[in-house]
Amino acid sequence: MERESGVIFYSTVAARQLSDYGIQIPLLPERIDRTLAHIQSLPRLKKHLQKVDEKLVPTAQDFALVHDPAFLQQLFSQHEDQVQKLLLACYECILPDGRYHRFDPKKVRGTFLELRKELLLEGAGTMAAVLELASLLKAEKFGWSFFLGGGMHHARTNGPSGFCLYNDIVVALAKLRTSLSSTLPFWVVDVDAHMGDGTASFGPQFSWLKTFSIHMARGWPLCFPNESQTALPRILPSTMDIPIESHEAGIYNQKLKAGLEKFLDLTGKPVMALVVLGADPFEGDALPSTSKLKLTLAQMLERDIFLHKFMQHHQIPVTYVMGGGYGEETWKCYAQFFDFLDGSAHFS
């Protein structure tokens, strides 16, 4: 493989401890901290680490490109109680009858205004990684960037969903598109365990956005236990969806490869691709709702190498964001991919 350089962006706010806000979800800082430490040990890639410039945090005007005004009024509220309500809904901590779910108010050590600020700053990382490719797009050259965070693919135009406060993916792509004259599509290739339903919901709004999602056939979106009548938002299909049944882990990569080739034929070559490189299909993921898809580390590496080589072969500039990855083991999925990018390990 031809060696090419990319830029890896990191932000200290992305490696947050949700338990500091009483939220009991295993989205742990180790996923980012240990991945970052691993990159810093690599001889080539460590030179391409770059801390996110917080001045790139999406502005109200950037959010307004994709999100509804009523939601943005909530998002930018200065009232702690309103922001707490919005964030607890985001992390699915309120049952339909108003009771708390996986949230302990006695363990809150920070304000929800602080958590909101961190999440907005995380959007600066996705923005930085996407905008990094701007010069390559104009020169029609291949290159890649990676943000250690981001990937809030369940958020919709009118609000949060599935642990995702806002859709940093579509915000960043819409921002970049305003500076380009190309009429070619932008891709979002989502390999998170859960369907990228939020990003897919923007499809009718933006004809330039083409979405590909390979995910568990069952298990998302979720109802709360014993709440089968809970009203759920209408699920719109991605441009191409590839649902994987629990017994199909062995052919996951086969279906991914065939599907992405068909996707290219269907949509044509894009301006760029943004890959939601979720680690939660990994068998070591700790979130119960990912249990219907269990890939080995070897299968995860095969997935990630294929995606990178596919983009390189077709000269499609690509930005990676992390997406989902829960518990203490998922950092290993990213570490082995960075070994590949570094060239310090040899793969066929």
Residue 139: the pLDDT is 75
Burial, 254: exposed, middle or buried (Cβ in 10 Å; 0-12, 13-18, 19+)? exposed
Comparing 3-7, 38-42, 213-217, 312-316, the range with the smallest average pLDDT is: 3-7
Helix (H, G, I), strand (E, B) or coil at 154: coil
pLDDT > 60? residue 348 = no
Which residues face 10 on adjacent strands?
51
Residue 266: the pLDDT is 98
Separation CA 69–CA 5 (nearest Å) = 39
Specify whether the CB–CB gap between 255 and 244 falls below 8 A. Answer: yes
Q: Which residues of 26-56 are buried (b: 16+ CB within 10 A; e: fewer)?
A: bbbebbbbbbbebbeebeebeebbeebeeeb
Q: Please list, in sequence order, all residues whose beta carbon lies within 8 angstroms of the beta carbon of residue 131, skipping any fewer than 6 positions away.
A: 56, 172, 175, 176
Instruction: For residue 184, give both structure tokens.
Output: 């070619």
Separation CA 341–CA 348 (nearest Å) = 13
Burial, 222: exposed, middle or buried (Cβ in 10 Å; 0-12, 13-18, 19+)? middle
Residue 154: the pLDDT is 97
Region 113-126: mean pLDDT is 97
The domain over range 6-19+26-58+123-342 is classified in CATH as 3.40.50.300? no
Q: How far is CA 143 from the centre of its chain?
A: 19
Query: 29-75, pLDDT tens digit by residue?
Result: 999 999 999 999 998 999 999 999 988 999 999 999 999 999 999 99
Region 195-222: mean pLDDT is 92
C-alpha gyration radius of the chain: 19
Residue 96's pLDDT band, with cuts at 50, 70 and 90, is: confident
Least Cα distance to 211 among 220, 223, 199 occurs for: 199
Separation CA 201–CA 167 (nearest Å) = 11
Separation CA 328–CA 310 (nearest Å) = 30
Residue 219: the pLDDT is 79
Which residues face 319 on adjacent strands?
145, 274
As a whole-number percent, the residues of the chain with pLDDT over 90 amount to 86
Residue 141's pLDDT band, with cuts at 50, 70 and 90, is: confident
Domain definitions of the chain by residue range: 6-19+26-58+123-342
Residue 299's pLDDT band, with cuts at 50, 70 and 90, is: very high
Which residues face 108 on adjacent strands?
21
pLDDT > 80? residue 226 = no
